[in-house]
A and B are shown apart, each in its own frame.
Chain A
Amino acid sequence: MQRHTTTPRADWKAKVEKVGLVFHTLDGDSGNYWDESAYYEFTSAEVDRLEAATCKLQDMCLAAGQFIIDNNRWSDLKIPVEAVASIKKTWNDEPPALYGRFDLAYDGNQIKLLEYNADTPTALLEAAVVQWYWLQDCFPKADQWNSIHEKLIAKWKDLKDYVSEPVSFGYVETVEDEFTIGYLRDTAEQAGIKTQALRMLDIGFDINTFTFVDLKNQPVKTLFKLYPWEWILKEKFGARALDFMDKTQWIEPIWKMMFSNKGLLAILWEMYPDHELLLPAHLDGPRQMKDYVRKPLLGREGANVQVFRGGEKEQSYGPYGEEGFVFQALAPIPCFDGNYPVLGSWMIADQGAAGMGIRESATIITNNRSRFVPHLFR
């Protein structure tokens, strides 16, 4: 893996906006979120390794899901008792699921799992579309690990007979979420599925039929939601989502709560100690680790993370942590001229490992100020 600096396209803002990345610049004076002043170059062999690692991790997570169920590890993950029956049922019934993103540390040698964003992963449009167009413009003869777009469409085609149309896409009113939802709707519609956007706030509950309804008071039979399950369950309609789970098909399904919880990292380490793709991780404290990271079980966007390294502590702040923490050994994230890259490896359900997006930060903690940097391989 190499990092190269390069000159951005003269009209890069207009180009990325044209393909949907209207949120290319960070708020205030924090610079660009989409950063094509640099790119990462991989070898074909490296990409093959990353692809194989992603598939292996997916297999391990599926085994971990069964392990959590078989061993009733709900309290370790602080998963609410009332959600357990629905998690078990959806795990066994296998309703539609779409995607997930493994965040990996890669130093050119070791590949280590940092976490699995399996419920509401974003930075999708950037990885699937925007960096693809960048490659066409800048390095048309090079390759890129990125078949996310065609695999998403293929997956929706597989799901067409199993979903109810229009598929509603639930979202929060932020530009990033609206355009992420817009992109996912686009891929579904290219697969022949009718869709509609629906703010989470606008979802209604009909007390006569005990169904969730849209703004036309029509039943929401299939709901893709860019909204985490742990938020859903805490909100006013959370109990109804559980009570009437059979009336709405939720994508992602509620069993993803087992994967999006960072306690999964400790479960994996318990099942696969010393596995080459894993970092030591524990739920009961750092044990003998000296350099480690404390992450909230249900943290998001790098918030409330504490990094202990060489006897010193670095931390980020935020609203998370009340459910508890996982303690994970510090990953070998390389530093390129003060930039720390984390690889987001995309998994499309039943389609396999689909591609990669890279977020780069000025610190070891990736957060919502981190930049997206494109990649290629030769």
Chain B
Amino acid sequence: MKKTQHITLGLLAGMALAFTTGCNRRAERRDCVDESGRITSEQNCQMVEQRRGSGYIGPMPYYHYLYGGSSGGSLGDTVVGGNPVPGMSSGSSSGFFGGVSRGGFGTTGSAGSGGSGGE
């Protein structure tokens, strides 16, 4: 006998289910970020928008939304590759934030050049 006796799939089966049911088609993510591009409380952006809407004149905290991009998803994480305009995010995470530079790998294999990294 040269075959595996039993195969159980966990993570992969979940990925496959999500793919086939369309659940991995994520809606564009929106994060509220500070001036450094770090994720902050949603309330900060809501407060800014409320003040703008009410005609408030005076110093305005620099909180805004970023659409798309990549991050760890937690408060304090840096969002990279996002765009202030919905539907415009490039998905690229290149940039330099807080001493961390990104986008230095993956360009050869990005869509339109080499494609898959496997063979």
Contact = CB atoms under 8 A, between A and B. Distances in A.
B41 to A, nearest CB: 18
Contact of A199 (B4, B13, B15, B106): B106
Contacts of B8: 190
B52 interface: no
A181 to B, nearest CB: 9
A227 B2 CA distance: 30
Nearest to A216: B72
Contacts of A172: 106, 109-110, 114-117
B12 A183 contact: yes
B105 interface: yes
Contacts of A324: none
Contact of B4 (A146, A204, A208): A146
A145 B7 contact: no
Given A227-B109, A234-B108, A120 B119 contact: yes
B108 A22 contact: no
Interface in A136-184: 143-150, 170-180, 182-183
A121 interface: yes
B84 to A, nearest CB: 20
Given A199-B106, A226-B118, A236-B103, A217 B78 contact: yes
Interface in B60-119: 70-72, 74, 77-78, 80, 91-94, 98-111, 113-119
Contacts of A4: none
Interface in B1-29: 1-5, 7-13, 15-17, 19-20
A235 B116 contact: no
Contacts of A237: 104-105
Contact of B77 (A19, A144, A175, A216): A216
Contact of B9 (A20, A121, A199): A20
B7 A232 contact: no
B6 to A, nearest CB: 8
Interface bracket on A: 35 or more
Contacts of B15: 20, 178-179, 182
Contacts of B113: 319
Interface of A is mostly: mixed
A147 B115 contact: no
Interface in A103-151: 117, 120-122, 125, 128-129, 132-133, 135, 143-150
Given A20-B15, A179-B12, A205 B117 contact: no
A175 B99 CA distance: 32
A17 interface: yes
Contacts of B80: 202, 204, 215
Interface residues of B, number: 49
B9 A186 contact: yes
Contacts of A88: none
Nearest to A240: B104
Contacts of B100: 204-207, 213, 217
A4 B10 CA distance: 33
Contacts of B98: 217
Interface of B is mostly: loop
Contacts of A234: 108
A147 B13 contact: no
A204 B92 CA distance: 12
B101 A185 contact: no
Nearest to B100: A204
A76 interface: no
Contact of B107 (A51, A171, A235): A235
A97 to B, nearest CB: 16
A201 B102 contact: yes
A47 interface: yes
A227 B104 CA distance: 13
B117 A171 contact: yes
A150 B3 CA distance: 9
Interface in A198-254: 199-208, 213-217, 225-228, 231-232, 234-237, 240
A45 to B, nearest CB: 12
Nearest to A146: B3
B116 A199 contact: no
A215 B77 contact: yes
Given A121-B118, A122-B118, A128-B4, 20 more contacts: A18-B20, A19-B12, A20-B13, A47-B2, A120-B119, A132-B4, A135-B3, A146-B3, A147-B4, A177-B116, A179-B19, A185-B11, A186-B9, A186-B11, A200-B105, A200-B117, A202-B93, A202-B102, A228-B117, A237-B105
